[in-house]
Structure 1
């Protein structure tokens, strides 16, 4: 039985940029849930997937609460350039704004629940991705993956056994000691998700003060609790996590290699930031060059938090004069905030 917490009334407007030749039944569906701060990254992420998978029949779905005329022009140009389909859904977020949020996670993190419910009854499988992901390999194996009757999602582990054990204890869920996943990549078995009402159970848990006393990673923790024993863990090449801020540490090990399919740029510094210019950002920058965002400048620091990190990275990149100026801006921002 299909159960949905969110009905389609939460979608205020749909914009369908369809320049593909194939029918809907042939397409593999990839979805993003973002606020205005990630539209740039999302557009380039879509471009990276298209560049790495030129022969795949794909449809992209962007759920957002903000979409300017400029965004409309660039996303339509992207669909036209690669002869693909990009559907944009403007979402009414009132139901989400009362849910817990942090400085790092806005209510947009809950769009993945709207996405899963929206596709119930429309398709069997949807790949949800965070917008700070760049593709550098084939997703053919994901397109061909088939689920068992009990599997709700295919996921990628975050960290190693020591971290899983800590989450198992913190979340009072012993099964997590066998694996804890990062929710930035979710290949969702839509019928099974709907049959078990995962969105409804997740929202109920997020509204439960007792449950929230244990939870630190918001919907990621909730999904790990709900999907324990019901997920298929797949290779880390599909969600290879790396923070550009790791570049500030000595002896940083870069996990990205020739087998990596998706690079997930976790942490506050993103590849679209002007201070994140390292080799690790090349997958994003190459996709940007091959997209309608090719002429968009990388973003400069907008607040004290970003100014501090930008200055550190500039010194790390031997850009000393820029680093000094940025540190001055940072101190001034703290004095006059």
Structure 2
């Protein structure tokens, strides 16, 4: 029995469906994103990267957002047509999410994954949820073929090491996390199992509980880890290889992205769609941009003081000295007028 917390009649305001699949009535693998306006650009290129690396596969993308313009609709429609795929955009009512905990780095949009899991109850067996700052450089056939055991609610990828897992287990008062803690930017969801276990409902209730909120630092990721102990399958890190472009500023850095990597997760404040994020590890994103309706769109320039600061650091690191000095000047100007 499907037990959903969110009723689509209450949260889905409108649907734009761009279906260019050959034989559109046949099935396709479902991939979903939950984003606000700040990640629409990244989401479009993330989808393009998956399509570019998986041209022979039937894929449907579902974009849940609270912001939409005619220009955005046109770009996503053009992308679906270009790769003979299907892209569905859902305009979401976020009123029930805005009272949940948020931080400087994570807005209420992080909770869209709960709406997504509930929306697909009775519609799909499994859905791949991805953060928009993920680029694809390999085949996802293994995920398409994956079959869940009855007690598995999701397939996930571990984050950190045993020391980190133990720390999260202690902080969150959940001993089972000492065996593994996952990053929630990648979730292959067993829809029926998720809804039978009422994960969305339980997660929202926990996020409204002051005792739980006092412990968590990673919002819904912490809560999902607490709820899915012993109920998630850990799969190969190649499906969520995390890397911060700010690591490039270090004197020495270990780059985990290799020929086996399927998804590169660009964690941290610098993204490959930023003007200062152009490194070899960004190649899968930048190549997909070149083969998408966004090919002529400029990379995003800094807007906030923090972005000008990172931009300056990267430009100096990339030996763009004049640009770097100018960015530092603009950073200080932003700080003074803040």
Indicate the residue corresponding to 2:8 in structure 1: 8
- The alpha carbon displacement at 1:330 in A equals 0.6
Q: Is the 1:242–1:263 contact (alpha carbons within 8 Å) kept by the matching residues of 2?
A: yes
Indicate the residue corresponding to 2:318 in structure 1: 317
Indicate the residue corresponding to 2:82 in structure 1: 81
Indicate the residue corresponding to 1:286 in structure 2: 287
CA-to-aligned-CA distance 1:288-323 (integer Å, 9 cap, x gap):
000000010000000101011110111110111101
- The alpha carbon displacement at 1:21 in A equals 1.3
C-alpha distance in 1 between matches for 2:176 and 2:25: 38
SS for the counterpart of 1:149 is: coil
- Matching of residues 211-290 of structure 1 within 5 Å: 211-290=212-291
Instruction: Answer yes or no: is 1:30 the counterpart of 2:31.
Output: yes
C-alpha distance in 1 between matches for 2:300 and 2:29: 31
- Matching of residues 1-337 of structure 1 within 5 Å: 1-9=1-9, 10-337=11-338
Give the gaps of 5 or more residues in structure 1. none
Q: Is the 1:22–1:57 contact (alpha carbons within 8 Å) kept by the matching residues of 2?
A: no
SS for the counterpart of 2:31 is: strand
- The alpha carbon displacement at 1:251 in A equals 1.1
C-alpha distance in 2 between matches for 1:66 and 1:230: 34
Query: Normalising by the residue count of structure 1, what TM-score does the alignment of the two structures yield?
Result: 0.99
SS for the counterpart of 2:100 is: coil
C-alpha distance in 1 between matches for 2:337 and 2:79: 41
SS for the counterpart of 1:63 is: strand
Give the gaps of 5 or more residues in structure 2. none
SS for the counterpart of 2:266 is: strand
Query: Normalising by the residue count of structure 2, what TM-score does the alignment of the two structures yield?
Result: 0.99
Question: What is the total number of aligned residue pairs between the two structures?
Answer: 337
Q: Is the 1:271–1:281 contact (alpha carbons within 8 Å) kept by the matching residues of 2?
A: yes
C-alpha distance in 2 between matches for 1:336 and 1:58: 47
- The alpha carbon displacement at 1:160 in A equals 1.1
C-alpha distance in 1 between matches for 2:257 and 2:50: 16
- The alpha carbon displacement at 1:26 in A equals 2.2
- The alpha carbon displacement at 1:22 in A equals 3.3
SS for the counterpart of 2:135 is: strand
- The alpha carbon displacement at 1:23 in A equals 4.3
- The alpha carbon displacement at 1:162 in A equals 1.0
Q: Is the 1:240–1:255 contact (alpha carbons within 8 Å) kept by the matching residues of 2?
A: yes
Q: 4+ residue runs of structure 1 moved beyond 3 angstroms?
A: 22-25
SS for the counterpart of 2:256 is: coil
Q: Is the 1:244–1:270 contact (alpha carbons within 8 Å) kept by the matching residues of 2?
A: yes
C-alpha distance in 2 between matches for 1:123 and 1:23: 16
27 and 310 in structure 1: CA distance in 2 versus 1, 3 angstrom threshold: same
C-alpha distance in 2 between matches for 1:143 and 1:150: 19
- The alpha carbon displacement at 1:250 in A equals 1.5
